Amino acid sequence: MKFLNFKNKYTYSNSSTRYHNFGGQGFTLVETLIAIFIFSMSITALFALSGTTTNSGQYSKNDVIATYLAQEAVDIIRNDRDSIIFQKFNQRGSTDWAGFISKYDVCFNESLGCEIDAFTKSVYGCSGYDDDGLPACTNINVYRDTTSNVDYYGIEPLALIDAIEKTSFRRKIVLYNNPDGSNSLVVVATITWKNGTSNKTKIFTETLYDWYK
């Protein structure tokens, strides 16, 4: 027996329990594909935004590190100047400005420059150029002093020092005699690094004087 109820727009069959609603409409295949496409584009946009945010955060971090490395170079040279002047002052002698300058002779090479290790305070001349045309200064990596458990950026690991992170940072330092003829010098610290595939540069300049005179 079959019974049709056109008023309610339902069909009923006693051979099997099936209900068909002819009054409503579902999604067509095209509509479903469009919905999936829109959803996929939304997800892709979210991932792209997340990647951009991550890259921006990494760039900001590298920029801060580069600033620190540039300032550190100037601070190391300034501390050397003060130590030599105080040493001469305590010995009641003249300030050994010439002795201070001689330690950094290699840094007056404008084309190549020099590099300084923050841990040992050793000074080295950069030699040659790399594939990017930059002075081949040593990469400044992160090391950990296992005796004090202190991390630092350096280029010359010693005994009991572990390398814990490699970086693309390089620091070129160039010294210039002040053109005004005074006992002073100009320190230019240039930090280069890679942000993805791009080369980045930060330059810090400061003038140091023989303040004892």
Query: What pLDDT, in 10s, does the model give residues 186-195?
Result: 999 999 998 8
pLDDT of residue 77: 93
pLDDT tops 70 at residue 96: yes
pLDDT tops 80 at residue 199: yes
The helix or strand, by DSSP H or E, that contains position 144, with its residue range, turns out to be strand 141-145
The percent of residues in the chain predicted with pLDDT above 70, rounded, is 73
**Which of these ranges, 29-43, 82-96, 116-130, has the smallest mean pLDDT?**
82-96
Q: What number is the average pLDDT over the span 139-152? A: 84
Q: Grade residue 10 by pLDDT with cuts at 50, 70 and 90.
A: very low
| Better pLDDT: 126 or 179 | 126
pLDDT of residue 29: 67
**Which of these ranges, 20-24, 68-72, 199-203, has the smallest mean pLDDT?**
20-24
The percent of residues in the chain predicted with pLDDT above 90, rounded, is 23
Q: What number is the average pLDDT over the span 97-116? A: 88
pLDDT tens digits, 32-82: 777 777 877 777 766 666 555 556 677 888 999 999 999 999 999 999 888
CB within 8 Å of 67: residues ≥ 6 apart: 202, 204
pLDDT tops 50 at residue 166: yes
pLDDT tops 50 at residue 11: no
Which among 147, 173, 169, 143 has a CA at the least distance from the CA of 160?
A: 147
Cα–Cα–Cα angle for 64, 67, 69, rounded to 5 degrees: 110
- Chain centroid to CA 209: 31
pLDDT of residue 4: 45
